Amino acid sequence: MKLKTIILLILISLTLGCISQNSEFVNGIIPITAQPPINETPIIEAPINNETTEAEVETTHDTIRIGAFNVQVFGVTKASKPEVMNVLADIIRTYDVIAIQEIRDSSQTALPALVDLVNSDGSEYSYVVSERLGRTSSKEQYAYIYNTQTVSISNASVYPEPDGTDPFHRQPFIASIEALQGNFDAVLIVIHTDPDEATEEINGLDYVLAYAQSQNQEEDDFIIMGDLNADGSYFDEDSTSELDAYHWIIDDSQDTTTKSTDYTYDRIILTDTSKLHGEHGVLRYDLVYALSQEQTVSVSDHYPVYVEFRVNGDMDE
Ligand SMILES: [Ca+2]
Ligand SMILES: [Ca+2]
Ligand SMILES: [Ca+2]
Ligand SMILES: [Ca+2]
């Protein structure tokens, strides 16, 4: 991880820790106080310059942070664990919009509870959620959770598979995003592929992109993201696909798994990189919040991924 990223993550964690300490949490939930990572990590050796700190904070309103997170069987069981929910809320608050995957909750209560917790510190996040998707009785939903103070989300809809076809177990969830300050806009496409058919589904995303482009003909910025299962036995990183023409900014060397395995399952693919500003990569929340391995995997088997864009300089409609 780049030094700048590490410093920024520490700053974010410290900021969130301060906010959490001053907030009133419902139902007696005690927020986890973010701690700097323990000794002997490269992070603690990073010199933190106060001037850099202020500069970083001041520039954050010029950028928006977008990303995706497979929260691994997010439902009532996870929602009943305050220590997990508080980490999720802290993570979500670092994003302007985050595409949540693997919501498995027939009660439809876990996601609203999470967003309520996010907002318990005075934040104003909202969400759009897909229908329950899947070919079997095990259904999943996607959601975009977003900061209503910085972005708007519109036109959220599930990719309409052509009549007589069924290319995806959980067809992608598409939405438009617009920065409230500046002129950045883009179309978001999130998918959690089925591991057993990851290669077929990844190659099928080219059709989803073409569909989204047909619906947004003036737009240049399309962001495909999520747990594509794009590594290991599910997908050959060295293979070619129609999407090779675009920018896989979570590259093959990244590890998006919280366990000891080293796979780049989670990806962000951009059609246009001209508005990139700041960092992109894997959010190591275990380091940011100084979590044990046990605490880390209780949140998810995946790390979130993220990318930052400048809000000015978008020339498309
Ligand atoms: Ca389908
Ligand atoms: Ca745009
Ligand atoms: Ca890899
Ligand atoms: Ca790993």
Chain-centroid distance, C-alpha 289:
17
Arithmetic mean of pLDDT, 233-243: 92
- C-alpha gyration radius of the chain: 19
- How does the average pLDDT of the chain come out, rounded? 87
pLDDT in tens, 15-32: 444 444 433 333 333 444
Ligand closest in space to the Cα of 232: 3
Average the pLDDT over 276-302 and give the result. Answer: 97
Q: What is the mean pLDDT of residues 252-274?
A: 97
**What are 37-41's contacts with CB under 8 Å, separation 24+?**
37/10, 37/287, 37/290, 38/290, 41/287
| Mean pLDDT lowest among 15-29, 47-61, 154-168, 281-295 | 15-29
Catalytic residue among 192, 277, 280, 302: 192
- Measure 50 CA to ligand 2 centroid, in angstroms: 34
User: pLDDT, tens digit, for every residue of 157-193?
Assistant: 999 999 999 999 999 999 999 999 999 999 999 999 9
pLDDT band at 240 (very low <50, low <70, confident <90, very high): confident
Q: Which ligand is nearest to the CA of 133?
A: 1
- Band of pLDDT at residue 12, cut at 50, 70 and 90: low
- Starting from the CA of residue 272, give the closest ligand: 2
C-alpha to C-alpha distances, 26 to 88, 114, 295, nearest whole angstrom: 16, 12, 22
The CATH superfamily label for domain 3-310 reads Endonuclease/exonuclease/phosphatase (3.60.10.10)
Active site residue 140: yes
Q: Is the predicted pLDDT of residue 317 greater than 60, yes or no?
A: yes
Å from CA of 126 to ligand 3 middle = 33
Distance 314 CA to ligand 2 centre (A): 5
Long-range contacts of 117-121 (CB under 8 A, 24+ apart): 117/25, 117/26, 117/29, 117/85, 117/86, 117/88, 117/89, 118/89, 118/92, 118/93, 118/145, 120/23, 120/24, 120/25, 120/26, 120/89, 121/19, 121/20, 121/22, 121/23, 121/93
The one catalytic residue among 140, 201, 219, 308: 140
Mean pLDDT within 10-14: 51
Question: What's the pTM value of the predicted model, to 2 decimals?
Answer: 0.82
Q: How far is the CA of 301 from the centre of ligand 4 (A)?
A: 9
The yes-or-no verdict on residue 139 having pLDDT over 70 is yes
For residue 36, report the distance from its CA to the centre of ligand 4, in Å: 21
Is residue 64 within 8 Å of 311, Cβ to Cβ? Answer: yes
Q: Given pLDDT bands bounded at 50, 70 and 90, which one contains residue 49?
A: very low
Ligand closest to 238 (CA) is 3
Residue 185 CA, ligand 2 centroid: distance in Å: 4
* The pLDDT value given to residue 159: 98
- Residue ranges per domain, the chain? 3-310
| Strands of the sheet with 173-179, listed across from one edge | 151-158, 173-179, 185-190, 222-227, 266-270, 247-248
